Structure 1
Amino acid sequence: MSMRLAGKTALVTGATSNIGRAIAEAFAAEGAHVVVSGRSAGRGAEVVEGIRAQGGQADFVRADLDGSAAASRALAEEATRVLGGRIDVLVNNAGIYPADSTAGTDEKTFDEVYAVNVKAPFFLTGAVAPAMAAAGGGAIINLSSWVARLGISVAALYSSTKGAMETLTRAWSAEFGPRGVRVNAISPGAVLPSDAEVADIGGTMMKGTPAGGMGTPDAIANAAVYLAADESSFVHGIVLDVDGGRTGVAVVAA
């Protein structure tokens, strides 16, 4: 192992399952001390135990990122304490995805999705980025989605929040980049979940792509390691597509 993140500290939100868990595990394997954050203490403990069993450093900090500034700031404060006084890498991964039509979405759901997917990372970044800059720099990685740029009929609400995160990525890069904080985003394609029904839908969506099928959480985690590591020091404000070619390539059958 190259230990590309040796000596760094990281906070990963939504890290108790799927992509967030894979990122936390990959960061720890590369030498980072990771705070695993999420709502479930049981699942958080499982992730932390797995990381420690492999010789990595990890701690769980429970957080219900409901969009309130107070919840985001409390997580930033506690994670900073647990990590010994600084956060070098922040991954804004936590999010929710209620698939429904526009007409079928009520106001409560609308507000909840924007609160979790946009407001929470907005205020968390606002709490973490200035401290990163004061400490000499850092890296922030936002999770977007391929549906932010390639529309599907049951993702209007969710995809709009991911479009917002891509815009914030560029704006934050302009705001914090000159102060040593690199801000970038990853846009995953359809990634294998634990739900078989969702996997079937995702597999269908990935037909006609160069990859020919769904990706894995590890593929997204590998991209996150790159954006967190010093080797990407000249990378600012990008949205890195890790989507099997879904948004950029059309494969025409011979």
Structure 2
Amino acid sequence: MSTRLAGRTALVTGATSNIGRAVAEAFAAEGALVAVSGRSAARGAEVVDAVRARGGRAVFVRADLDGGAAAARDLADRATRALGGRIDVLVNNAGVYPGDTTDRTDEETFDRVYAVNVKAPFFLTAAVAPAMAEAGGGAVVNLGSWIARLGVPMGALYSSTKGAVETLTRAWAAEFGPRGVRVNAISPGVVLPLADGSGHPAAAMMRGTPAGRMGTPAEIAHAAVYLASDEASFVHGIVLDVDGGRTTAAVVAA
């Protein structure tokens, strides 16, 4: 087991599946005590058991982040207690993705997506970052998305929420950085749980990219470990593209 996050505590939202689970497992493998947060106690227990089976440390803290400030403060309080009195790293990963077109998106869906994807991380960061600063410092890692900067015909609502998260990342870096709290974001490309997703319809989204394939949750988790660790001590307010080159380069096949 490596020790890049030894002695650290971390709260990871949406940690019972996919990217969130990979981040929680990677943090634990690097020595952190991880609060695995999500809505499903059964899936949370599965992640905690998997972490402990590999010699890591994790606890489950159930939460349904509906965007309300009260829910965010409640999670922050319970996670802080579960982690022994402090949160050193916060990963704002929980989110929902409605892939419909703009004209088929109703107001209820609009409000729900903004509540989960923007309001929840906003108020959770508001609850956690000041305490980090008072304790001497910490790190916040937000999850953005490649479609925040490369327009596609579906998912305008989702992409706008991730654009908001990336903007908040820069604003929070300016706000909390001078107080010892580093805030950065990761912008994943098309990611599936399986390493080989060549037969999945989403694989088409990665054609013409340098990587030529979809990413895995573990590849996103590696970036999260870096941003949470002392190796990124001079990194503030960035959006780290981990997208196989989707937003930066195009490959033209001969």
1:13 aligns with 2:24: no
Deviations 1:92-113 (A, max 9, x none): 0000001100000000000000
Q: Distance in 2 between matches of 1:60 and 1:132?
A: 21
Contact 1:9 1:86 in 2 (8 A): yes
- Counterpart of 1:201, as a letter, is P
- The aligned runs of 1:1-254 (5 Å cut-off) are 1-193=1-193, 200-254=200-254
Q: Deviations over 1:180-216 (max 9, x none)?
A: 000000000001146x999723210000000001010
**Whole-angstrom distance in 2 between the partners of 1:217 and 1:132:** 27
Cα distance in 2, alignment partners of residues 224 and 33 from structure 1? 15
Letter in 2 for 1:101: T
CA RMSD of aligned residues (A): 1.4
Shift of 1:240: 0.1
Distance 1:158 1:197, change over 3 A: farther
SS where residue 186 of structure 2 aligns? strand
Contact 1:4 1:31 in 2 (8 A): yes
In 2, Cα distance between the equivalents of 1:201 and 1:232?
35
8 Å contact kept, 1:192–1:199: no
Kindly indicate whether the alpha-carbon contact (under 8 Å) linking 2:16 and 2:37 is maintained by their aligned counterparts in 1: yes
SS in 2 for 1:209: coil
* CA contact 2:197–2:203 (8 Å) conserved in 1: no
- The normalised TM-score by structure 1 is 0.97
- Give the gaps of 5 or more residues in structure 2: none
Q: Which runs of 4+ in 1 moved over 4 A?
A: 196-199
- The one-letter amino acid of 1:32's match is A
2:220, 2:46 → 1: CA distance?
21
Change (3 A) 1:197 1:233: closer
In the aligned structure 2, how far is the partner of 1:36 from the partner of 1:211?
Answer: 31
Checking the alignment, whether the CA contact within 8 Å between 1:193 and 1:199 is kept in structure 2 is: no
| Unaligned residue ranges in structure 1 (runs of 5+) | none
Q: CA contact under 8 A between 2:69 and 2:120: conserved in structure 1?
A: yes
Is the CA contact (8 Å cut-off) linking 1:16 and 1:47 kept in structure 2? yes
Between the two proteins, the alignment pairs up a number of residues equal to 253
**Contact 1:14-1:21 within 8 A present in 2 as well:** yes
What letter corresponds to residue 136 of structure 2 in structure 1? G
Aligned-pair CA distance for 1:56? 0.6
TM-score of the superposition, structure 2-length normalised? Answer: 0.97
Question: Aligned in 2, Cα 1:212/1:197: closer, same or farther, shift over 3 Å?
Answer: closer
Cα distance change on mapping 1:237 and 1:65 into 2, 3 Å: same
For residue 45 of structure 2, what is the amino acid of its counterpart? A
Instruction: Confirm or deny: 8 A CA contact 2:22 2:217 kept in the other structure.
Output: yes
SS at match of 1:103: helix
Task: Give the 3-state SS of the residue equivalent to 1:97 in structure 2.
Answer: coil
Residues 10, 34 of structure 1: 8 Å contact kept: yes
